[in-house]
Chain A
Amino acid sequence: MTEIIVVTSGKGGVGKTTTSASLAVGLARREKKVAVIDFDVGLRNLDLIMGCERRVVYDFVNVINGECTLKQALIKDKRHESLFVLAASQTRDKDALTREGVEKVLDGLREEGFDYIICDSPAGIEKGAALAMYFADRAVVVVNPEVSSVRDSDRILGLLASKTRRAELGNGGVEQHLLLTRYNPNRVESGDMMSIADVQEILGIDVVGVIPESEGVLAASNAGVPVILDESSNAGHAYDDAVARLLGESRPLRFTEAQKKGLFSRIFGG
Protein backbone atom coordinates (compact mmCIF):
# COMPACT_ATOMS: atom_id res chain seq x y z
CA MET A 1 0.00 0.00 0.00
CA THR A 2 1.22 3.43 -0.90
CA GLU A 3 0.88 6.20 1.63
CA ILE A 4 0.95 9.82 0.50
CA ILE A 5 2.30 12.33 3.03
CA VAL A 6 2.15 16.06 2.36
CA VAL A 7 4.64 18.35 4.11
CA THR A 8 2.96 21.72 4.33
CA SER A 9 2.81 24.90 6.44
CA GLY A 10 1.21 27.89 4.78
CA LYS A 11 4.05 30.20 5.73
CA GLY A 12 7.32 30.11 3.82
CA GLY A 13 10.76 29.53 5.27
CA VAL A 14 9.70 27.35 8.18
CA GLY A 15 11.50 24.22 6.98
CA LYS A 16 9.16 22.31 4.67
CA THR A 17 11.82 21.26 2.19
CA THR A 18 14.35 20.45 4.91
CA THR A 19 11.66 18.33 6.56
CA SER A 20 10.59 16.62 3.31
CA ALA A 21 14.20 15.68 2.54
CA SER A 22 14.90 14.31 6.01
CA LEU A 23 11.63 12.39 6.31
CA ALA A 24 12.21 10.86 2.87
CA VAL A 25 15.75 9.78 3.78
CA GLY A 26 14.60 8.50 7.18
CA LEU A 27 11.92 6.32 5.60
CA ALA A 28 14.28 5.07 2.89
CA ARG A 29 16.85 4.10 5.57
CA ARG A 30 14.17 1.85 7.00
CA GLU A 31 13.99 -0.11 3.76
CA LYS A 32 10.92 1.73 2.46
CA LYS A 33 10.62 2.64 -1.20
CA VAL A 34 10.18 6.39 -1.16
CA ALA A 35 9.52 9.12 -3.73
CA VAL A 36 9.79 12.75 -2.72
CA ILE A 37 8.13 15.28 -5.03
CA ASP A 38 8.76 19.01 -5.23
CA PHE A 39 5.43 20.80 -5.86
CA ASP A 40 6.96 24.28 -5.91
CA VAL A 41 6.65 24.92 -9.64
CA GLY A 42 8.90 27.78 -10.72
CA LEU A 43 10.94 27.71 -7.51
CA ARG A 44 12.59 24.30 -7.52
CA ASN A 45 14.68 23.70 -4.39
CA LEU A 46 14.25 20.17 -3.12
CA ASP A 47 16.92 19.03 -5.58
CA LEU A 48 19.46 21.34 -3.89
CA ILE A 49 18.59 20.13 -0.39
CA MET A 50 18.82 16.52 -1.59
CA GLY A 51 22.09 17.25 -3.40
CA CYS A 52 20.94 16.07 -6.82
CA GLU A 53 20.56 19.43 -8.57
CA ARG A 54 23.00 18.55 -11.33
CA ARG A 55 21.20 15.36 -12.20
CA VAL A 56 17.81 16.88 -13.01
CA VAL A 57 17.01 16.12 -16.64
CA TYR A 58 13.23 15.79 -16.61
CA ASP A 59 10.80 17.18 -14.06
CA PHE A 60 7.28 16.76 -12.67
CA VAL A 61 5.63 18.82 -15.42
CA ASN A 62 7.49 16.90 -18.16
CA VAL A 63 5.91 13.70 -16.82
CA ILE A 64 2.45 15.29 -16.63
CA ASN A 65 2.74 16.52 -20.21
CA GLY A 66 3.93 13.13 -21.43
CA GLU A 67 7.32 14.51 -22.53
CA CYS A 68 9.09 11.69 -20.71
CA THR A 69 8.23 8.60 -18.71
CA LEU A 70 7.91 8.64 -14.95
CA LYS A 71 10.97 6.38 -14.69
CA GLN A 72 13.06 8.83 -16.70
CA ALA A 73 12.13 11.70 -14.42
CA LEU A 74 12.75 9.93 -11.10
CA ILE A 75 16.24 10.76 -9.85
CA LYS A 76 17.70 7.93 -7.82
CA ASP A 77 19.37 9.05 -4.61
CA LYS A 78 23.11 8.39 -4.50
CA ARG A 79 23.05 7.26 -0.88
CA HIS A 80 19.86 5.20 -0.76
CA GLU A 81 18.81 2.63 -3.34
CA SER A 82 15.11 2.95 -2.56
CA LEU A 83 14.85 6.76 -2.59
CA PHE A 84 13.83 8.82 -5.62
CA VAL A 85 13.42 12.54 -6.19
CA LEU A 86 10.98 14.13 -8.63
CA ALA A 87 12.05 17.71 -9.24
CA ALA A 88 9.71 20.66 -9.74
CA SER A 89 9.57 22.30 -13.11
CA GLN A 90 11.15 25.75 -13.44
CA THR A 91 8.39 26.89 -15.80
CA ARG A 92 6.64 30.15 -15.05
CA ASP A 93 3.34 28.73 -16.22
CA LYS A 94 1.21 28.57 -13.09
CA ASP A 95 -1.23 26.19 -14.71
CA ALA A 96 1.43 23.59 -15.48
CA LEU A 97 0.16 21.43 -12.61
CA THR A 98 -3.32 20.01 -12.97
CA ARG A 99 -5.24 17.76 -10.64
CA GLU A 100 -5.52 15.09 -13.34
CA GLY A 101 -1.81 15.34 -14.06
CA VAL A 102 -0.84 15.02 -10.41
CA GLU A 103 -3.18 12.07 -9.99
CA LYS A 104 -1.64 10.37 -13.01
CA VAL A 105 1.87 10.70 -11.55
CA LEU A 106 0.77 9.49 -8.10
CA ASP A 107 -1.00 6.50 -9.66
CA GLY A 108 2.13 5.74 -11.64
CA LEU A 109 4.18 5.71 -8.43
CA ARG A 110 1.61 3.43 -6.82
CA GLU A 111 2.00 0.99 -9.69
CA GLU A 112 5.77 1.09 -9.26
CA GLY A 113 5.30 -0.21 -5.72
CA PHE A 114 6.35 2.86 -3.74
CA ASP A 115 5.61 2.62 -0.01
CA TYR A 116 5.68 6.35 0.63
CA ILE A 117 5.23 9.46 -1.48
CA ILE A 118 6.32 12.67 0.22
CA CYS A 119 4.78 15.79 -1.32
CA ASP A 120 6.86 18.88 -0.56
CA SER A 121 4.32 21.71 -0.70
CA PRO A 122 5.13 25.27 -1.74
CA ALA A 123 4.30 28.07 0.69
CA GLY A 124 0.95 29.80 0.42
CA ILE A 125 -2.50 28.44 -0.32
CA GLU A 126 -2.39 28.73 -4.09
CA LYS A 127 -2.67 25.98 -6.67
CA GLY A 128 0.65 24.24 -5.97
CA ALA A 129 -0.07 23.99 -2.24
CA ALA A 130 -3.66 22.93 -2.88
CA LEU A 131 -2.55 20.14 -5.24
CA ALA A 132 0.24 18.99 -2.93
CA MET A 133 -2.30 18.29 -0.20
CA TYR A 134 -5.26 17.15 -2.30
CA PHE A 135 -4.38 13.45 -2.58
CA ALA A 136 -2.66 13.13 0.81
CA ASP A 137 -3.42 10.43 3.36
CA ARG A 138 -1.47 12.22 6.07
CA ALA A 139 -0.12 15.70 6.56
CA VAL A 140 2.95 16.88 8.41
CA VAL A 141 2.31 20.53 9.24
CA VAL A 142 5.62 22.31 9.82
CA VAL A 143 5.37 25.13 12.35
CA ASN A 144 7.82 27.57 13.93
CA PRO A 145 6.86 28.63 17.46
CA GLU A 146 6.05 32.10 16.22
CA VAL A 147 2.73 33.93 15.70
CA SER A 148 2.52 34.17 11.91
CA SER A 149 3.57 30.57 11.37
CA VAL A 150 1.03 29.25 13.89
CA ARG A 151 -1.80 31.29 12.43
CA ASP A 152 -1.00 30.22 8.86
CA SER A 153 -0.79 26.61 9.96
CA ASP A 154 -4.26 26.80 11.40
CA ARG A 155 -5.46 28.04 8.01
CA ILE A 156 -3.78 25.02 6.42
CA LEU A 157 -5.47 22.68 8.92
CA GLY A 158 -8.80 24.11 7.78
CA LEU A 159 -7.94 23.40 4.15
CA LEU A 160 -6.78 19.87 4.98
CA ALA A 161 -10.15 19.28 6.60
CA SER A 162 -12.13 20.50 3.59
CA LYS A 163 -10.15 20.74 0.35
CA THR A 164 -8.69 17.25 0.09
CA ARG A 165 -9.91 14.09 -1.55
CA ARG A 166 -10.17 12.33 1.79
CA ALA A 167 -12.29 15.16 3.15
CA GLU A 168 -14.52 15.06 0.07
CA LEU A 169 -14.97 11.31 0.32
CA GLY A 170 -15.77 11.71 3.98
CA ASN A 171 -13.55 8.84 5.08
CA GLY A 172 -11.97 10.40 8.11
CA GLY A 173 -10.05 13.14 6.37
CA VAL A 174 -6.30 13.60 6.31
CA GLU A 175 -4.42 12.49 9.42
CA GLN A 176 -2.69 15.61 10.77
CA HIS A 177 0.67 15.78 12.52
CA LEU A 178 2.42 18.79 13.99
CA LEU A 179 6.17 19.17 13.49
CA LEU A 180 7.75 22.05 15.36
CA THR A 181 10.99 23.38 13.90
CA ARG A 182 13.54 25.95 15.06
CA TYR A 183 12.58 25.15 18.63
CA ASN A 184 14.81 26.82 21.21
CA PRO A 185 14.25 25.41 24.73
CA ASN A 186 16.33 28.14 26.37
CA ARG A 187 14.16 30.86 24.88
CA VAL A 188 11.05 28.95 25.89
CA GLU A 189 12.32 28.80 29.45
CA SER A 190 13.06 32.52 29.51
CA GLY A 191 9.53 33.20 28.29
CA ASP A 192 10.15 34.65 24.86
CA MET A 193 9.22 31.65 22.75
CA MET A 194 5.97 29.68 22.82
CA SER A 195 6.36 26.18 24.19
CA ILE A 196 5.37 22.89 22.54
CA ALA A 197 2.30 22.77 24.78
CA ASP A 198 1.31 26.34 23.81
CA VAL A 199 1.39 25.61 20.09
CA GLN A 200 -0.28 22.25 20.53
CA GLU A 201 -3.05 23.81 22.57
CA ILE A 202 -3.77 26.45 19.93
CA LEU A 203 -3.66 24.11 16.94
CA GLY A 204 -5.12 21.06 18.65
CA ILE A 205 -3.16 18.37 16.81
CA ASP A 206 -0.60 15.79 17.94
CA VAL A 207 3.11 16.48 17.83
CA VAL A 208 5.08 14.10 15.63
CA GLY A 209 8.40 15.82 16.20
CA VAL A 210 10.23 18.80 17.64
CA ILE A 211 13.35 19.88 15.78
CA PRO A 212 15.68 22.06 17.82
CA GLU A 213 17.13 25.20 16.30
CA SER A 214 20.47 23.96 15.06
CA GLU A 215 23.50 25.12 13.11
CA GLY A 216 23.49 21.69 11.51
CA VAL A 217 20.45 22.54 9.37
CA LEU A 218 22.19 25.29 7.39
CA ALA A 219 25.36 23.23 7.14
CA ALA A 220 23.34 20.34 5.76
CA SER A 221 21.61 22.40 3.10
CA ASN A 222 24.95 24.01 2.20
CA ALA A 223 26.31 20.54 1.54
CA GLY A 224 23.20 19.08 -0.09
CA VAL A 225 23.06 16.31 2.50
CA PRO A 226 19.72 16.05 4.36
CA VAL A 227 20.32 16.92 8.02
CA ILE A 228 18.97 13.55 9.22
CA LEU A 229 22.25 12.06 7.92
CA ASP A 230 24.32 14.31 10.20
CA GLU A 231 25.07 12.13 13.20
CA SER A 232 26.54 15.09 15.08
CA SER A 233 23.42 17.24 14.79
CA ASN A 234 20.58 17.20 17.32
CA ALA A 235 18.22 18.27 14.52
CA GLY A 236 19.18 15.13 12.62
CA HIS A 237 18.40 12.91 15.60
CA ALA A 238 15.13 14.72 16.18
CA TYR A 239 14.14 14.06 12.56
CA ASP A 240 14.94 10.40 12.99
CA ASP A 241 12.64 10.31 16.02
CA ALA A 242 9.90 11.95 13.94
CA VAL A 243 10.27 9.28 11.24
CA ALA A 244 10.00 6.54 13.86
CA ARG A 245 6.82 8.13 15.24
CA LEU A 246 5.34 8.40 11.75
CA LEU A 247 5.88 4.65 11.49
CA GLY A 248 4.02 4.12 14.73
CA GLU A 249 6.88 3.82 17.22
CA SER A 250 6.58 5.79 20.41
CA ARG A 251 9.66 7.78 21.31
CA PRO A 252 10.09 10.40 24.01
CA LEU A 253 10.85 13.95 22.88
CA ARG A 254 14.52 14.92 23.01
CA PHE A 255 16.38 18.24 22.98
CA THR A 256 13.35 20.06 24.36
CA GLU A 257 14.71 20.95 27.80
CA ALA A 258 16.71 24.11 28.47
CA GLN A 259 20.44 23.66 29.00
CA LYS A 260 21.52 24.12 32.58
CA LYS A 261 23.62 27.21 32.92
CA GLY A 262 27.20 26.93 34.08
CA LEU A 263 28.61 28.82 37.06
CA PHE A 264 30.08 31.52 34.83
CA SER A 265 26.83 32.38 33.10
CA ARG A 266 24.94 32.13 36.37
CA ILE A 267 27.09 34.92 37.77
CA PHE A 268 27.43 37.07 34.71
CA GLY A 269 24.11 36.31 33.02
CA GLY A 270 23.80 35.58 29.36
Chain B
Amino acid sequence: MGILDFFKSKPKNTANVAKERLRIIVAQERAQRGSPDYLPTLRRELLEVIKKYVNVDPDAVIINVERDGEHEVLELSVALPEKGAALASEG
Protein backbone atom coordinates (compact mmCIF):
# COMPACT_ATOMS: atom_id res chain seq x y z
CA MET B 1 0.00 0.00 0.00
CA GLY B 2 1.49 3.31 -1.05
CA ILE B 3 0.76 6.65 0.54
CA LEU B 4 -1.48 7.57 -2.38
CA ASP B 5 -3.50 4.38 -1.89
CA PHE B 6 -4.56 5.79 1.43
CA PHE B 7 -6.80 8.21 -0.41
CA LYS B 8 -8.29 5.64 -2.73
CA SER B 9 -11.25 3.64 -1.51
CA LYS B 10 -10.10 0.18 -0.55
CA PRO B 11 -11.30 -2.35 -3.12
CA LYS B 12 -13.21 -5.38 -1.91
CA ASN B 13 -11.71 -8.80 -2.26
CA THR B 14 -13.66 -9.73 -5.35
CA ALA B 15 -11.82 -13.03 -5.82
CA ASN B 16 -13.47 -14.38 -2.69
CA VAL B 17 -16.86 -13.25 -3.93
CA ALA B 18 -16.23 -15.08 -7.21
CA LYS B 19 -15.15 -18.22 -5.42
CA GLU B 20 -18.22 -18.31 -3.17
CA ARG B 21 -20.62 -17.72 -6.05
CA LEU B 22 -18.95 -20.43 -8.09
CA ARG B 23 -18.94 -22.88 -5.23
CA ILE B 24 -22.72 -22.63 -4.94
CA ILE B 25 -23.65 -22.66 -8.62
CA VAL B 26 -21.23 -25.46 -9.47
CA ALA B 27 -22.58 -27.65 -6.65
CA GLN B 28 -26.13 -26.99 -7.82
CA GLU B 29 -25.32 -27.79 -11.44
CA ARG B 30 -23.46 -30.95 -10.47
CA ALA B 31 -26.49 -32.16 -8.57
CA GLN B 32 -28.63 -31.78 -11.69
CA ARG B 33 -26.05 -33.40 -13.94
CA GLY B 34 -27.08 -36.62 -15.59
CA SER B 35 -30.74 -36.11 -14.89
CA PRO B 36 -33.01 -36.44 -17.94
CA ASP B 37 -33.66 -33.37 -20.10
CA TYR B 38 -37.42 -33.67 -19.71
CA LEU B 39 -37.39 -32.98 -15.97
CA PRO B 40 -38.05 -29.22 -16.13
CA THR B 41 -41.03 -29.73 -18.47
CA LEU B 42 -42.35 -32.60 -16.38
CA ARG B 43 -42.09 -30.43 -13.29
CA ARG B 44 -43.95 -27.56 -14.95
CA GLU B 45 -46.77 -29.78 -16.22
CA LEU B 46 -47.15 -31.55 -12.89
CA LEU B 47 -47.40 -28.19 -11.20
CA GLU B 48 -50.23 -27.19 -13.55
CA VAL B 49 -52.16 -30.37 -12.79
CA ILE B 50 -51.68 -30.03 -9.04
CA LYS B 51 -52.77 -26.41 -9.18
CA LYS B 52 -56.17 -27.50 -10.48
CA TYR B 53 -56.81 -29.02 -7.08
CA VAL B 54 -54.51 -27.34 -4.60
CA ASN B 55 -53.02 -23.89 -4.71
CA VAL B 56 -49.35 -24.70 -4.23
CA ASP B 57 -46.30 -22.51 -4.64
CA PRO B 58 -44.29 -22.97 -7.83
CA ASP B 59 -41.32 -24.09 -5.78
CA ALA B 60 -43.38 -26.59 -3.77
CA VAL B 61 -42.84 -29.27 -6.41
CA ILE B 62 -39.46 -30.96 -6.19
CA ILE B 63 -38.41 -33.60 -8.67
CA ASN B 64 -35.30 -35.70 -8.47
CA VAL B 65 -33.91 -38.69 -10.26
CA GLU B 66 -31.88 -40.82 -7.92
CA ARG B 67 -29.73 -43.71 -8.88
CA ASP B 68 -29.98 -46.75 -6.67
CA GLY B 69 -27.64 -49.36 -8.04
CA GLU B 70 -29.15 -50.53 -11.32
CA HIS B 71 -32.44 -48.73 -10.76
CA GLU B 72 -33.39 -45.15 -11.33
CA VAL B 73 -35.98 -43.71 -9.02
CA LEU B 74 -38.06 -40.69 -9.92
CA GLU B 75 -38.68 -38.92 -6.66
CA LEU B 76 -41.51 -36.42 -6.52
CA SER B 77 -42.32 -34.32 -3.51
CA VAL B 78 -45.08 -31.73 -3.24
CA ALA B 79 -45.34 -29.53 -0.21
CA LEU B 80 -49.03 -28.75 0.36
CA PRO B 81 -50.07 -25.45 1.87
CA GLU B 82 -51.27 -25.40 5.44
CA LYS B 83 -54.81 -26.67 5.98
CA GLY B 84 -57.51 -24.20 5.23
CA ALA B 85 -55.00 -21.72 3.83
CA ALA B 86 -55.99 -22.28 0.26
CA LEU B 87 -58.36 -24.57 -1.54
CA ALA B 88 -57.74 -23.63 -5.12
CA SER B 89 -61.12 -23.86 -6.76
CA GLU B 90 -64.17 -22.71 -4.94
CA GLY B 91 -66.53 -23.44 -7.79
Chain A residues with CB under 8 Å of chain B are 146-147, 150-151, 154-155, 158, 162, 188, 190-195, 198, 201-203, 265-270
Contacts and interface: CB of A to CB of B under 8 A. Distances in A.
Contacts of A195: 15
Nearest to A191: B13
Instruction: Please classify the interface of chain B as helix (H, G, I), strand (E, B), loop, or mixed, using the class held by over half of its residues.
Output: helix
Instruction: Please classify the interface of chain A as helix (H, G, I), strand (E, B), loop, or mixed, using the class held by over half of its residues.
Output: helix
Contact of A192 (B8, B15, B25): B15
B79 interface: no
Contacts of B19: 194, 198, 201-202
B2 A266 contact: yes
A198 B21 CA distance: 12
B22 A147 contact: yes
B31 to A, nearest CB: 11
B2 A154 contact: no
Interface residues of B, number: 23
17 contacts: A151-B22, A151-B25, A154-B26, A154-B30, A158-B30, A190-B11, A191-B11, A191-B13, A191-B14, A192-B15, A201-B19, A203-B26, A268-B2, A268-B3, A268-B4, A269-B5, A270-B2
A151 B30 CA distance: 11
Q: Which of B4, B5, B33 has the most CB of A within 10 A?
A: B33
B1 interface: yes
A192 B22 CA distance: 15
A150 B19 CA distance: 10
A147 B13 contact: no
Given A147-B18, A162-B34, A192-B15, 4 more contacts: A192-B11, A192-B14, A198-B18, A269-B1
Contacts of B21: 147
A192 B11 CA distance: 9
Contacts of B11: 190-192
Contacts of A146: 18
